[in-house]
Structure 1
Amino acid sequence: MRHLAIIGSGPAGYYTAEAAQKQWGDDVRVDIFDRLPVPYGLIRTGVAPDHQSIKGVSNRYEKTALSDNVRFVGNISVGQDVTVDELQGLYDAVIFATGAPNDRPLAIPGEELGNVFGSAAFVGWYNGHPNFATLDPDLSGRHAVIVGMGNVALDVARILSKTEAEFAGSDIVSHALDLLKRSKLETITILGRRGPHQIAMTPKELGELGKLENACPRVNPADLPPEDDDAVLEPGQRKSVGHLRSFAAIPESERGQFGKEVNFHFFGVPERIIGNGRIEALEVSRTALRDGKLVATGEVETIPCDLLVSCIGYRTSPIPGVPFDERAGRFANDEGRILPGLYCVGWARRGPTGTIGTNRPDGFSIIEKIAEDFDSGALGAARKDGRPGFDALAESRKLDIVTFRDWKKIEEAEERAAREGAPREKFVHIEEMIRARG
Structure 2
Amino acid sequence: MLRVAVVGSGPAGIYAAESLVAHGPAQVDVYDRVPCPYGLVRYGVAPDHEKIRSISASLAKVFDSPDVRFLGNVEVGTDITLEELGARYDAVLVSSGSSAGRGLGIPGDGLPGSFTATELVSWYCGHPDTRIDAFTDTARHVVVVGMGNVAVDVARILLRPADELARTDVPPHVLDVLRASPIESVSLVGRRGPAEARWTTKELKELGSLTGVDVVVEPAELAVDAAGEQRLAAEPGARRNLDVVREWAQRPRAGASRTLRVRFLQRPVRVLGTERVAGVELERCVLDGHGGATGTGETERVEAGMVVASVGYRGVAVPGLPFDERSGTIPHERGRVVDAAGEPVPGVYVAGWIKRGPSGVIGTNKHDAHETVATLLEDAAAGRLPQPGGTGDALELLASRGVHVVTWSGWRAIEQAELALGESLGRGRTKIVGRDDLVAAALRAAGA
State the TM-score bracket (shorter-chain normalisation).
over 0.9
Alignment correspondent of 1:140: 138
In 2, Cα distance between the equivalents of 1:398 and 1:295?
56
Which SS does the other structure have where 2:293 is aligned? strand
Alignment correspondent of 2:355: 349
Alignment correspondent of 2:403: 399
In 2, Cα distance between the equivalents of 1:33 and 1:226?
47
In 2, Cα distance between the equivalents of 1:392 and 1:281?
53
1:390 correspondence with 2:394 = yes
Alignment correspondent of 1:30: 28
Alignment correspondent of 2:176: 178
For residue 67 of structure 1, what is the amino acid of its counterpart? S
Displacement after TM superposition at 1:342 (Å): 0.8
Which SS does the other structure have where 1:279 is aligned? coil
Matches within 5 A, 1:39-188: 39-188=37-186
Does the Cα contact within 8 Å between 2:185 and 2:261 map onto a contact in 1?
Answer: yes
Displacement after TM superposition at 1:226 (Å): 6.0
Which SS does the other structure have where 2:208 is aligned? helix
Alignment correspondent of 1:410: 414
Alignment correspondent of 2:315: 316
Identity %: 39
Relative to structure 2, which stretch is displaced further, 396-405 or 41-50?
A: 396-405
Matches within 5 A, 1:203-242: 203-225=201-223, 229=229, 231-242=232-243
In 2, Cα distance between the equivalents of 1:310 and 1:427?
27
Does the Cα contact within 8 Å between 1:33 and 1:73 map onto a contact in 2?
Answer: yes
Does the Cα contact within 8 Å between 2:10 and 2:37 map onto a contact in 1?
Answer: yes
| Length-normalised TM-score, structure 2 | 0.92
Which SS does the other structure have where 1:122 is aligned? helix
Displacement after TM superposition at 1:383 (Å): 6.2
CA offset digits 1:125-182 (Å, max 9, x no partner): 1111112133432442321000111000000000011112321431111111111111
Moved over 6 A (4+): 383-386
Displacement after TM superposition at 1:233 (Å): 3.9
Matches within 5 A, 1:242-253: 242-251=243-252
1:8 correspondence with 2:13 = no
* Structure 2 alignment gaps of length 5 or more: 338-344
In 2, Cα distance between the equivalents of 1:84 and 1:10?
19
Relative to structure 2, which stretch is displaced further, 328-337 or 184-193?
A: 328-337
In 1, Cα distance between the equivalents of 2:249 and 2:164?
24
Does the Cα contact within 8 Å between 1:23 and 1:367 map onto a contact in 2?
Answer: no
Cα 1:43–1:82, aligned 2, differ >3 Å: closer, same or farther?
A: same
Displacement after TM superposition at 1:231 (Å): 4.6
Aligned length, in residue pairs: 431
For residue 209 of structure 2, what is the amino acid of its counterpart? K
Displacement after TM superposition at 1:393 (Å): 2.0
Does the Cα contact within 8 Å between 2:269 and 2:283 map onto a contact in 1?
Answer: yes
Matches within 5 A, 1:356-395: 356-380=362-386, 382=387, 388-395=392-399
In 2, Cα distance between the equivalents of 1:29 and 1:48?
33
Cα 1:226–1:88, aligned 2, differ >3 Å: closer, same or farther?
A: closer
Does the Cα contact within 8 Å between 1:209 and 1:216 map onto a contact in 2?
Answer: no
For residue 406 of structure 2, what is the amino acid of its counterpart? V
Which SS does the other structure have where 2:438 is aligned? helix
Does the Cα contact within 8 Å between 1:119 and 1:152 map onto a contact in 2?
Answer: yes
Which SS does the other structure have where 2:20 is aligned? helix
In 1, Cα distance between the equivalents of 2:9 and 2:247?
40
Does the Cα contact within 8 Å between 1:283 and 1:300 map onto a contact in 2?
Answer: yes
* Structure 1 alignment gaps of length 5 or more: none
1:436 correspondence with 2:441 = yes
Which SS does the other structure have where 1:406 is aligned? helix
Which SS does the other structure have where 1:49 is aligned? coil
In 1, Cα distance between the equivalents of 2:19 and 2:427?
33
In 2, Cα distance between the equivalents of 1:169 and 1:431?
25
In 2, Cα distance between the equivalents of 1:231 and 1:310?
26
Which SS does the other structure have where 1:436 is aligned? helix
Cα 1:160–1:30, aligned 2, differ >3 Å: closer, same or farther?
A: same
